[in-house]
Structure 1
């Protein structure tokens, strides 16, 4: 059964004086107060961070916000994060079983989302990621749903799943169908928007590009520890993140006489196979595996951050490292070039361990002033393009446009 937790009994926080989100919302006509339910699967990783940031800012702007997410993912770390967020959740948290892949239990989850949406009287159902997008857009609300808008923020997911395969075609066919039930697409990168256009087809009813945003405090330098690792990786431990490529690149570098050390922070389904691969490549003493933890202290324990992903949307880990002026080696995939902007020529082809090893050596051997200067230039370029307040404001403006469009459609239907 669905179990709502951490539902405060007080009204949602009122917008603070000088809150850029609240101020700009009122100036653009997006100042209506909404009852918003964010629906997503896993309370972990970049998607969860996006929802948490959005929830805080929407609540501070005077909206009533609630969450629906998986009951079994994230462990104690997710429980702590949700407990810290609870003062901002006027509509509480409902945790229900959700499987990563399509499953017969999806019907029960869909009914639970419907029940929660009706119980709290939402007017915005906002789905995040493939599973959240399904539940938020397809939950049947009947007559009570006539005034509700359905928003969808893809985070890569099904759009990046082995393009060209039969299963990818099935996923994209489903996206074409669900697009008809979507009032607003909020693509977090131009890349994902282009994937939707190429594979799902059709013209979305309404769409916006809303880049992930980061806070001003994240631009503060983290410093470097006294005995840093040469390389640091932070994220999920899964093959799609390009970690076998990274291990092969590290082995190449070490075989050429450079005894580099790598710190890998994270967890995931491929942890054991990656540890076995490291052992087979003779890297047992070169790699330290540590569980998930806050990224900023980890950045200070490495000289260079490596992001060897094979597919991405707009990864927070790159934004966070770049904002802190951490030297970066990253692959040319997804929305990462949108983050690097004019410096995207430094990106590495995905899946190429030789190119990755060469990029690692090049950045480690650079003069510190050159390396640090380039990292600082990237950090400075992010300030206006990836602001957290701008992200939240653009989402609220998207909601307002979707409500206006829905009213126009309703009036036209009534006139007809």
Structure 2
């Protein structure tokens, strides 16, 4: 990455949790190390101690600082206040690039970027959906309204980034063929992450790692776990690692099914520590775009059992035996049982880490994103 023309880059997103947060942190670090000035603007009401630690780690790379204001998940009158506070802060930072992530982040970056351009300020408005609005269906009035807003916002966008081919196809099918510059740039992780993570002596058979909300399928994990015990004919063990609004409900579900002593719950933690808890990572999501957890787990030499949704088949392989039907706990339990009873199941089923590394690299991701920033600003390739 050249540093002849350093850029001022601000990432805007709502919740500092999960894949979007990881994506923004990786870009911030890579671009900062390449000589650019980077900042983050996100919600102040979500995240916990784990996210605070991640902010502490990324802070040295944020020369434009970290700005946190209240940003609600759903559309609300309070959005106008958040928009105004964001506008004042962003205007003072004078960024060259506003990169919005997810639906709310995309609105902030594109609306504020457009307001700055009205005032003759040059700024590139870049948007990555990360699933977001694309999870909605055109069959519902609400979904049609959300997707129509996405189409309208193209007029305020200089470039789109799709993090997987599934996301690109979903956009074309639900929103339309992009009328602006668009690129497919896969999520990526560091080369150092492609190393085995051995399990602890007190490891469990299965682990769920992620936000505790129905979209991610914790309830499917509990149901499938119970069915897997019946399939193999013996008690098993599992952990659910993460935080979220439905944590109490999932705990109650486990207790009601008599699984409270065999499925433990732990708060969100560093992914390396979570992977040490089990050799088998279950990703039962109902909707995804390109989840980092699958890339990270394959890199750590874990066995991954995942829903056949979003960009997951682009990581594991479209014909992978590790893929299960979405929203189907019985199919999920079938593969969970195979993973712990069939010899060498992981070695036979998982893609080679070298193959994954060749495609899902954070350095390649950051270089391609930076190139798109420059194109959106109208810079020639040698500046």
Q: TM-score, normalised by structure 2?
A: 0.94
Aligned to 1:278: 254
Aligned to 2:50: 77
Q: 1:165 aligns with which of 106, 122, 140?
A: 140
Offset of residue 186 of structure 1:
0.9
Question: What does 1:346-365 align with in structure 2 at a 5 Å threshold?
Answer: 346-365=322-341
Aligned to 2:266: 290
Task: Give the Cα separation in 1 of the matches to 2:66 and 2:274.
Answer: 30
CA displacement 1:122-144 (0-9 Å, x = unmatched): 11111011110000001121544
Offset of residue 342 of structure 1:
5.6
Task: Give the Cα separation in 2 of the matches to 1:305 and 1:346.
Answer: 11
Say if 2:43 is the partner of 1:62: no
Say if 2:318 is the partner of 1:378: no
Task: Give the Cα separation in 2 of the matches to 1:145 and 1:83.
Answer: 35
Aligned to 1:18: none
Task: Give the Cα separation in 1 of the matches to 2:310 and 2:92.
Answer: 38
Task: Give the Cα separation in 2 of the matches to 1:319 and 1:175.
Answer: 28
Q: 2:68 aligns with which of 95, 98, 102?
A: 95
Verify the 8 A CA contact 1:118 1:144 in the aligned structure 2.
Answer: no
Q: 1:224 aligns with which of 186, 199, 205?
A: 199
SS of the residue corresponding to residue 251 of structure 1 reads helix
Verify the 8 A CA contact 1:185 1:204 in the aligned structure 2.
Answer: no
Aligned to 1:127: 100
Aligned to 2:298: 322
Aligned to 1:178: 153
CA RMSD of aligned residues (A): 1.8
Say if 2:183 is the partner of 1:200: no
Of residues 303-312 and 338-347 in structure 1, the stretch that sits farther from structure 2 once superposed is 338-347
Inter-CA distance 41–233: structure 2 relative to 1 (3 Å threshold): same
Task: Give the Cα separation in 1 of the matches to 2:269 and 2:137.
Answer: 29
Task: Give the Cα separation in 2 of the matches to 1:393 and 1:260.
Answer: 44
Offset of residue 343 of structure 1:
5.1
Aligned to 1:263: 239
Greater Rg, structure 1 or structure 2?
Answer: 1
Of residues 397-406 and 38-47 in structure 1, the stretch that sits farther from structure 2 once superposed is 397-406
Q: TM-score, normalised by structure 1?
A: 0.86
Inter-CA distance 143–175: structure 2 relative to 1 (3 Å threshold): closer
Offset of residue 346 of structure 1:
3.2
Aligned to 2:371: 397
Aligned to 1:104: 77
Verify the 8 A CA contact 2:137 2:144 in the aligned structure 1.
Answer: no
SS of the residue corresponding to residue 110 of structure 1 reads helix
Q: Where does structure 1 lack aligned partners over 5 or more consecutive residues?
A: 1-21, 407-416
Stretches of 4+ aligned residues off by more than 6 angstroms: none
Offset of residue 224 of structure 1:
1.8
Q: Where does structure 2 lack aligned partners over 5 or more consecutive residues?
A: none
Task: Give the Cα separation in 2 of the matches to 1:99 and 1:259.
Answer: 42
Verify the 8 A CA contact 1:340 1:378 in the aligned structure 2.
Answer: no
Task: Give the Cα separation in 1 of the matches to 2:348 and 2:191.
Answer: 20
Verify the 8 A CA contact 2:322 2:349 in the aligned structure 1.
Answer: no
Offset of residue 146 of structure 1:
4.3
Offset of residue 191 of structure 1:
1.1
